[in-house]
């Protein structure tokens, strides 16, 4: 009887002291990091970019756009706010339907001018630098703008650079 009790006690102590395996701990931690990242992302956005002043600019490309995008420069009301150089992998991701969030910032309500300058290579590996401009009226809601490179309706060899208010 005593032996059984000792055995039970030993078993119990093993059970209570058993820690999850390293793999299990790692999986749980990964899950926690994913959740934390999301919450921090939300908090940061709500604190730094409240909806009433938020301006977000996205970059997208049509898969058949005859243009190898090297980089984009963005100005808001004649102030350069960001520029970005694309790697091959990022360019392919854009051509496969990926959308890049290029810029997130704050602007006051009222009219603003957005200018995007696209640098890259067009047909025949020819260097191109094209600007597209858009006037927007910022209201009380967040404003989403899309910069898109697509093939022109006039000719398949000529790219179109569009700045669009997504409302």
Report which DSSP code applies to 48.
Answer: H
Regarding 96 and contact with another protein (CB under 8 A), the answer is yes
- Cα–Cα distance between 106 and 22 in angstroms, integer? 44
| Sheet architecture: strand order including 127-138 | 79-85, 68-76, 110-121, 127-138
**Per CB under 8 A, 99 contacts another protein:** yes
Q: Which of 144, 150, 158, 162 binds another protein (CB under 8 A)?
A: 144
Q: Which of 42, 52, 77, 137 binds another protein (CB under 8 A)?
A: 42
Q: Using the rule CB under 8 A, which residue among 34, 124, 125, 126 binds another protein?
A: 34
Question: 3-class SS at 50?
Answer: coil
Cα–Cα distance list, 51 to 9, 70, 112, 134 (Å)? 60, 31, 16, 20
- Pick 154 or 167: Cβ nearer another protein: 167
85 binds another protein, rule: CB under 8 A: no
CB 137 within 8 A of CB 167: no
**88 and 113 Cβ atoms separated by less than 8 Å:** no
The answer to whether residue 53 forms part of the interface with another protein (CB under 8 A) is: no
Q: Examine residue 13 and tell whether it contacts another protein (CB under 8 A).
A: no
Give the other-Cβ count within 10 Å of 161's Cβ. Answer: 22
Q: How far is the CB of 58 from another protein (least distance, A)?
A: 6
* Nearer CB in complex with another protein: 12/40: 40
Rule CB under 8 A: say whether 45 interacts with another protein: yes
Q: How far is the CB of 154 from another protein (least distance, A)?
A: 26
143-151 and 54-61: which strand pairing? parallel
Residues at the interface with another protein (CB under 8 A): 22-23, 25-27, 29-45, 47-48, 56, 58, 60, 89-90, 92-94, 96-101, 144, 166-167
């Amino acid at each position: 009887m005593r032996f059984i009790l000792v055995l039970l006690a030993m078993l119990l102590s093993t059970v209570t002291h058993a820690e999850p395996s390293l793999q299990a701990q790692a999986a749980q931690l990964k899950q926690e990091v994913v959740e934390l990242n999301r919450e921090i992302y939300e908090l940061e956005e709500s604190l730094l970019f409240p909806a009433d002043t938020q301006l977000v600019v996205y970059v997208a490309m049509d898969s058949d756009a005859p243009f190898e995008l090297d980089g984009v420069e963005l100005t808001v009301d004649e102030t350069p706010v960001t520029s970005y150089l694309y790697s091959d992998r990022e360019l392919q991701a854009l051509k496969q339907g990926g959308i890049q969030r290029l810029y997130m910032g704050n602007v006051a309500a009222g009219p603003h001018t957005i200018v995007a300058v696209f640098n890259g290579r067009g047909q025949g590996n020819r260097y191109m630098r094209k600007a597209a401009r858009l006037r927007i009226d910022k209201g009380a809601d967040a404003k989403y703008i899309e910069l898109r490179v697509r093939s022109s309706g006039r000719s398949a060899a000529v790219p179109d650079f569009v700045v669009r208010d997504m409302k």
